A and B are shown apart, each in its own frame.
Chain A
Amino acid sequence: MSGISRRKFLKSTVVAGGSAAAAMSSTKSFAMKEFEGYPESMGVLVDLTRCIGCRTCEAACNKEHGLPEPELPFDDFSVFDQVFHEGKQKRRTTEKAYTVVNRYETKAQGAPVYRKLQCFHCSEPACLTSCFVNAYTKTKEGAVIYNADVCVGCRMCMVACPFSMPAYTYDSALHPQIIKCNFCYDNRLTKGKPPACVEACPQEALTFGHRKTLVKTAHERIRSNPDKYVDHVYGETEVGGTSWMYLSSVPFDQAGFNTTLQHHPILDNTKSFLGIVPMVLGIWPALFMGFHLLAKGGKGDKESKDKVEVHGE
């Protein structure tokens, strides 16, 4: 793999496609009904500049959800040195951990950056829209929750998730299921309480609130400290917006974020095809019956005689 950075590459195409895109977006607003998320949706703003990598959130999550005890205790910071798949991947969410914190050494500044990772709770989640049994729900409080009772186990949601967050209990023969952060929906979110990780954070790196307010808060922080922050709120528009959003002092790709994600919902990618479906269903029968009649031409009678003969052989 030689290194064409996708970002650089996109930049070059943006110049060419810019005018066309501008023309398209104006018609787009007429053509499509946009879902802008539930008005009362809650969210969490993660400020990476405040995170010190203490892993308290991981411990709180583990306790809240009664997850199995990890191999290394939560006060063991050697986990930050763990890498997998020949160093290509750091720790990720698993069936035993809804959230993990990773450390990133960055070029720009001396101190490392820590990033907490969990389900982003997208406004228009790809897991939900790709699920053929509707196992996922985006609640009005903003959580993306999963119903194991209808899940068939096709793992399409894992393929579709742009953040590769869902884990799966592959080892269960009888009742395997998707495991992921549920925003502490049942015991906390529905009661207006912040999730366990947010409550536990000693640094106030995690801010819980209405998503709309958090977007304003985030931009406010950037405005008052333009030197400290990268001028971007990760999750504000990525894949159509997410309930969990991030602020960072280093470019997001250096903190392990995928910065090549599209800025409209994943669902949009399938819309052009899904639009064809009713057309094919509507047009094909008459079209191909027409072809058939044309192919038969005037010899329809003769053919039916042929058929009788075939049967009578």
Chain B
Amino acid sequence: MKNFIKEGFKPVDSLNDPDDGHQWSIMQKLLLGLSPKEYFQQLRSNPFNWLLFLIFAVGLPVIVYRYIFGLGSVMHGSFDYPWGLFLGFGLFCMVPLSASGFLLGTTVELFGQKDYKPILNLALLNGLLGYFFAVVFLLVDLGMPWRLYYPMVISWGTAAVLFLVGWHVATYLTVQVLEVSESFFEWIGWPTAKNYIHKGTIGLTVAGIILSTLHQGALGTLLTYAPGKVHPLWYSAEFMWIFFLCSSIFAGLCMVIAVSTIVKKTMSWRCSGEFLDNLDSITIGLAKGASMALVTYLVIKIVGMTHDNLWAYLTTGWGTWYLLEMGLGVVLPIILFSFAIRNKSVGLIRFTAFLTIFGLLLNRLNTVLITFNWNLYQEWPPLLETIISVTIFFLFIVVYRFLLYRLPILYAWKTAPAKVVTPS
């Protein structure tokens, strides 16, 4: 792709071809304005695509295998560890990393911080895709995925926390589809629909805050069903929900920093000047937000430890592991962030964002898988389960990239005909 840009090629960024003024067809838009031959040429020349091809060649058949022979054929099928990577990673990690949508929505639309406008669409898309793929993971993990709608329609278990999670993820997914649909309508060329959705922005944003507060917290509360199975250091009957909510805030912000870093490195041709010029100052701003959330998280974790008097556990083996998680994932990021913000070192901020994400992954996996059943025995996800998880994660990346290439997420759509319509 970079080569085409060098040769003076401009990807589709408006309804009409700037050269002769005719409207781009859907096909041309899908191919970014390249001819099919050129498009496949750029597909082939990118080594990352070969890696994808390899992963899917192995992974997709394994997914089919899972549906033919049942969950037991790919998971360890343990009765003591009912959940594996699909939920441990796919649900418990993807959801907090997707908190970006509601955070930036609140900042820009609700608090009117227009400085963050250039990154808003990316944050919204990141949220939408994260949730969508959490549901994809769920479809692999559920024993009978075709019954996914049962808690909505057939039978209501209203007292269950999972009922709340299910409903909220479903409604929030709808909210996010609507939020991102503005970009889609722009791209497909239905400005009326776009303006119609735009009128509801504030409502959607507030709905996003409510739903996110509740289901991020609810994911933590799910684990209070299993006291004694979750290690005490990762467990708190009272504060589980606020731990999960608070950590989703820095996770979501760091995810935006991380994704924007990758985007800047790999597809700067698609980014508008406004996006690239403001990215550094936006990144510093996001890092400030993330470090506030990190400090808060550290404080409430200490409060939680004191509340349950867990100090003695710190001297055990699990305690060392816990300190490692908190040290690498929370304390070190706080130090690095404050240093980097003071020195305006954007590179260090980006590194720290990746570190914080790693810390969050470790926290969720520790809670749901690694220290789960700490009194019992350790169970590791088998190979096929890992392959499926990796495959779905890369599907996430492919869809992410597909949309970023096309929809006006990183760049502003040039609405040329509007000039003709509005007499001003």
Contact = CB atoms under 8 A, between A and B. Distances in A.
A258 B316 CA distance: 21
Contacts of B189: none
A162 interface: yes
A266 B313 contact: no
Interface string B274-302: 00000000000000000000000000000
A289 interface: yes
Given A280-B214, A289-B206, A9 B312 contact: yes
B21 interface: no
Size band of the interface chain A makes with B: 35 or more
Interface string A113-133: 000000000000010011111
Nearest to B208: A288
B210 A280 contact: yes
Interface string B391-424: 0000000000000000000000001001100101
A159 B73 CA distance: 20
B422 A134 contact: no
Interface in B354-391: 374-377, 379
B424 to A, nearest CB: 6
Interface string B146-159: 01101100111101
B241 interface: yes
A134 B67 contact: no
Contacts of A84: 377
A173 B155 contact: no
A191 interface: no
Contacts of A292: 109-112, 202, 206
A291 B111 contact: yes
B151 A152 contact: yes
Interface string A143-169: 000000011111110111010101111
Interface string A255-271: 00010111000110110
Contact of A176 (B70, B225, B240): B70
Contacts of A288: 106, 110, 205-206, 209
B87 to A, nearest CB: 8
A312 B195 CA distance: 12
B79 A159 contact: no
Contacts of B347: none
A281 B143 contact: no
B144 A152 contact: yes
Contacts of A16: 309
Contacts of B214: 276-277, 280-281
A270 B70 contact: no
Q: Binding site of B, secondary structure by majority: helix, strand, loop or mixed?
A: helix
Nearest to A286: B206
Contacts of B148: 152
Given A4-B316, A129-B159, A285-B206, A177 B143 contact: yes
A150 B79 contact: no
A213 B144 CA distance: 42
B225 A159 contact: yes
B135 interface: no
Interface string A73-115: 0000000000011101100111000000000000000000000
A269 B224 contact: yes
A63 interface: no
A152 B147 contact: yes
A118 B266 CA distance: 57
Interface stretch (B28-36, B160-168, B253-261, B336-344): B160-168
B229 A171 contact: no
B226 A160 contact: yes
Contact of A2 (B145, B165, B206, B317): B317
Given A155-B83, A162-B228, A276-B217, A2 B316 contact: yes
Contacts of A126: 225
A150 B150 contact: yes
A94 B225 contact: no
Given A173-B68, A273-B241, A284 B80 contact: no
Given A133-B154, A159-B229, A1 B316 contact: yes
Contact of A291 (B110, B225, B237, B312): B110
A88 B376 contact: yes
Interface string B198-212: 000010011001100
A204 B112 CA distance: 74
Contact of B418 (A94, A171, A267, A312): A312
Contacts of A89: 80, 376-377
Given A164-B79, A269-B227, A295 B110 contact: yes
B157 A131 contact: yes
Contacts of A153: 142-145, 147
B8 interface: no
The 8 closest A-B pairs by CB, nearest first: A153-B143, A170-B72, A85-B377, A155-B82, A170-B77, A158-B82, A160-B225, A173-B70
Given A168-B77, A170-B75, A273-B240, 11 more contacts: A129-B159, A129-B160, A132-B157, A133-B156, A153-B143, A170-B72, A173-B68, A270-B225, A272-B238, A292-B109, A313-B415
22 contacts: A89-B377, A129-B160, A132-B165, A151-B144, A156-B160, A159-B229, A168-B79, A169-B72, A170-B70, A171-B69, A171-B73, A267-B159, A269-B225, A273-B221, A273-B240, A280-B213, A285-B206, A288-B106, A291-B111, A292-B109, A311-B195, A313-B418
